[in-house]
């Protein structure tokens, strides 16, 4: 998915604030699911909640106001209760701005870890 850096996402030096990358990765993850015919709202209606258990980011190069940034999202692991995604944020020239990884645990309405049903896992490719 591609996004354009908004002024509000930059700091006093005009550089994208480090906290924005997690938001962008979340947008990339949601877009990845939509491309596979899934939405978080569908999970929640079915009683499944996907919570972040771990997040890692390595910053490589700055992004600036009005830059176009491409977020590449890959599902690295899908095992019932655990989902792991990796991300790459690239500028228009293909320069790596940041890379990251998030690990998620699936829980039910009672906050107990549960496995996603096979029909959902099969859609995640």
> Which residues are designated catalytic?
11
Token duo for residue 93: 């020239």
Strand partners, 15: 64
Distance CA 121, CA 46 (A): 14
Measured between alpha carbons, how far is residue 65 from residues 5, 9, 14, 70, 98 in Å? 5, 8, 7, 14, 16
């Amino acid at each position: 998915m591609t996004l354009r850096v908004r002024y509000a996402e930059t700091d006093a030096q005009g550089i994208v604030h480090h906290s924005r990358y997690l938001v962008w990765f979340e947008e990339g993850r949601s877009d990845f699911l939509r491309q596979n015919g899934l939405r978080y709202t569908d999970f929640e209606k079915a009683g499944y909640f996907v919570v972040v258990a771990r997040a890692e980011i390595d910053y490589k190069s700055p992004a600036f106001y009005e830059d176009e940034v491409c977020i590449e999202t890959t599902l690295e692991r899908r095992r019932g209760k655990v989902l792991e995604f990796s991300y790459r944020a690239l500028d228009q020239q293909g320069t790596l701005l940041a890379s990251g990884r998030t690990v998620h645990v699936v829980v039910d309405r009672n906050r107990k870890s549960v496995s996603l049903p096979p029909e959902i896992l099969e859609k995640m490719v």
